[in-house]
Amino acid sequence: MAPSSTTPSVLLNTGAQMPLLGLGTYKLLAPEDVNRAVDAALLAGYRAFDSAAVYQNEADLGRALRELLPKHGLTREDVFIISKLDPKDQGEGAMEGALQSLSQLDLGYIDLYLIHWPGTQGLEPADQRNPVNRAQSWVTLEELHAQGKLKAIGVSNYTPAHMKELMQNCKIPPAVLQDELHPQLCKTELRSVCKEYGVCFQAYSSLGKGALLTDPVVMEVAKNCERTPAQVLLRWALQQGVPVLPKSSNPDRIKDNGRLFDFTLSDSDMDRLSALDCGHKYCRNASQVV
Ligand code: A2P
């Protein structure tokens, strides 16, 4: 069933709807901080939450949702939960790792579960065991998907080459590829590969870890349309059909980042922002992983 969202959603290749706006939770650690952020996000209309085994907050996120959903008049089916396989569990450990995520979150099922990284923790990027391990992880995710425990499965930080390899070998195609995206990193080739394969591209670090908030072009566009730089950066992705996962621990900024559906950037502002593309990554780069 589609989550009853106050924000629009995108149709995945599984037939499920994924909200276009979700809360990123990287570095949200203390239980009280997770509770405060989840409460603010639900109030602001967020209906998706993005966690990962390596964020070490799956249990706190699950607990916060179980406690706060009734307060907001919502049920489990109204929210879309994303988590990711720990790169240390890539390969043989994938079943145990994914079951651990399910049990930590304790929300019955996970709406979208991703292979977090194309490599395996502890292996060199050029190690030939990397492709073997991620293939084994994918088979495991397919199995848990068939059992209904992972409603959709996907990948994160994959390059076009990793995507092509997966598409050639999978039984179930990935529903989502989550990766870094912002005006300085437009990922044109990767997004066209996703489009070709019917995979939804989802953005993280839309704010360039906060660095893009003071970019002069972003600031000028924001001033002209009387919005904040964060809203401009998030709207730039949404207007291209790309779902976003702004990360904040601050209730006021969570609210600010959620006000994205009541304004439009002009074509010329979209073009000015896209012209900032220089391939700059603020996060770790997976292109060296074989
Ligand atoms: P904070 O948690 O204190 O709000 P990204 O999603 O690109 O990785 O960026 C996340 C960073 O940007 C976090 O450090 C977060 O800090 C900060 N941030 C998130 N939203 C805003 C906002 N609206 N204005 C300023 N900083 C923000």
Q: Which of 29, 228, 253, 254 maximizes ligand 1 atoms within 8 Å of its Cβ, making it the mutation to test the pocket?
A: 253
Instruction: Give me the pLDDT at residue 7, please.
Output: 82
User: If you average pLDDT over residues 134-142, what whole number do you get?
Assistant: 98
Average pLDDT for the chain: 96
Instruction: Give me the pLDDT at residue 287, please.
Output: 85
- Distance of alpha carbon 284 from alpha carbon 199, whole angstroms: 22
Catalytic residues: 55
Instruction: Give me the pLDDT at residue 3, please.
Output: 47
Separation of CA 148 and ligand 1 centre (Å): 34
CATH number of 15-210+242-250: 3.20.20.100
- Distance of alpha carbon 161 from alpha carbon 125, whole angstroms: 14
**Structural tokens at position 48:** 């998706």
Q: Is the pLDDT of residue 218 over 60?
A: yes
**122: Cα within 13 Å, side-chain hemisphere:** 8
Q: Which atom of ligand 1 is nearest to the CA of 231?
A: 23
- Distance of alpha carbon 192 from alpha carbon 129, whole angstroms: 28
Residues in the chain, overall count: 290
Instruction: Give me the pLDDT at residue 6, please.
Output: 63
What pLDDT, in 10s, does the model give residues 145-159?
999 999 999 999 999
Q: Which residues contact 224 (CB under 8 A, 6 or more apart)?
A: 269
- The pTM of the full predicted model, rounded to 2 decimals, is 0.96
pLDDT band at 4 (very low <50, low <70, confident <90, very high): very low
Contact of 290 with 127, CB cutoff 8 Å: yes
Contact of 20 with 10, CB cutoff 8 Å: yes
- Distance of alpha carbon 40 from alpha carbon 287, whole angstroms: 36
- CA nearest 261: which of 240, 233, 231? 231
CA angle 104, 86, 83 (to 5 degrees): 55
What pLDDT, in 10s, does the model give residues 58-76?
999 999 999 999 999 999 9
- Distance of alpha carbon 57 from alpha carbon 41, whole angstroms: 16
Contact of 83 with 100, CB cutoff 8 Å: no
**Structural tokens at position 114:** 């991703």
Q: Is the pLDDT of residue 2 over 80?
A: no
What pLDDT, in 10s, does the model give residues 223-255?
999 999 999 999 999 999 999 999 999 999 999
Cβ of 207 closer than 6 Å to ligand 1, yes or no, is yes
Contact of 162 with 130, CB cutoff 8 Å: no
Cβ of 156 closer than 6 Å to ligand 1, yes or no, is no
- Distance of alpha carbon 43 from alpha carbon 52, whole angstroms: 23
